[in-house]
Copies of this chain bind each other. A is one copy, B any other.
Amino acid sequence: MSKRDFLTTAGMTRHELDDLLDLATRIKGKRPGQVLGGKTLGMLFFQPSLRTRVSFEVGMVQLGGHCINLSSDDLYELEPNEQTIMDGRAEEHVKDAALTLSRYVDALGIRAAARTSTWEHDRQELLLRSYARHASVPVINLETVFEHPCQALADVLTMRENLVSLKSRKLTLMWCNHPEPKSLGPTHSVLQLAALMGMDVTLAHPLGFDIDHEVLARSKTAASDAGGSVRVSNDREEACKGAEVMYARSWGCTKYWDDNEREAMVKRSLQGWRVDEQLMATTNNALLMHPLPVRRNVAATDAVLDGERSRIYDQAANRAHVQKALLMQLLK
Contacts and interface: CB of A to CB of B under 8 A. Distances in A.
A258 B76 CA distance: 22
Interface in A44-94: 45, 48-51, 53-55, 57-58, 61-62, 66, 68, 70-71, 73-76, 79, 83-88, 91-93
Contacts of A91: 293, 295
Given A96-B292, A104-B58, A293-B96, A74 B86 contact: no
Contact of A296 (B57, B84, B293, B298): B84
Contacts of A74: 45, 48-50, 53, 71
Interface string A294-324: 1111100010000000001100110010000
25 contacts: A40-B58, A48-B74, A50-B74, A50-B101, A53-B70, A54-B68, A54-B105, A73-B73, A79-B296, A83-B297, A83-B302, A86-B295, A86-B296, A88-B179, A91-B293, A91-B295, A92-B293, A93-B294, A96-B292, A96-B312, A99-B313, A99-B316, A100-B316, A100-B317, A104-B320
A320 B103 contact: yes
A266 interface: no
Interface in A273-301: 292-298
A173 B308 CA distance: 51
A42 interface: yes
How extensive is the interface on chain A, given as a class? 35 or more
A154 to B, nearest CB: 11
A298 B58 contact: no
A42 B85 CA distance: 37
Nearest to A47: B76
Interface of A: 31, 38, 40, 42, 45, 48-51, 53-55, 57-58, 61-62, 66, 68, 70-71, 73-76, 79, 83-88, 91-93, 96-97, 99-101, 103-105, 179, 292-298, 302, 312-313, 316-317, 320
A98 B88 CA distance: 37
Contact of A298 (B31, B83, B85): B85
Candidate in A55, A76, A83, A87 with the most chain B CB atoms within 10 angstroms: A87
